[in-house]
Amino acid sequence: MTDIQFSTDEKERIVHKVKSYFNDELEQDIGSFEAEFLLDFFAKEIGAYFYNRGLQDAQMLFTEKVEEISYLVQELEKPTDYKK
């Protein structure tokens, strides 16, 4: 896994959400520097957990779609006197 990189706009939006959460839920004002530092900490320390879960979810969805395609292909088969 490579390090998670966000665009400047994405990072600004995430930092704003972190600051809002601290203000709304914890009644604490934190600055942009602190929110960005916290974001970097979470990305480094727990980002891999979210990344791995995303991969697992993608793999499960991919497997489901492959099975679905397999059934669709079987439906396209034309009848023959050949027995499998």
Determine phi and psi for 82, rounding to 5 degrees. Answer: -80, 130
Name the pLDDT band for 82 (thresholds 50, 70, 90): confident
The yes-or-no verdict on residue 71 having pLDDT over 80 is yes
Cα 71 to chain centroid, rounded: 28
Domain that holds residue 70: 8-76
Number of domains present in the structure of the chain: 1
> What DSSP state is assigned to residue 81?
S
Q: Where is pLDDT greater, at 53 or 79?
A: 53
Examine residue 1 and state whether it is found in any structural domain, yes or no.
no
84 within domain boundaries = no
Q: What is the pLDDT of residues 10-42, one digit of tens each?
A: 999 999 999 999 999 999 999 999 999 999 999
pTM of the full predicted structure? 0.70
Predicted pLDDT at 83: 76
Rounded Cα distance between 27 and 8, Å, is 27
Residue with tokens 């034309």: 78
The two tokens of residue 61 are 């969805």
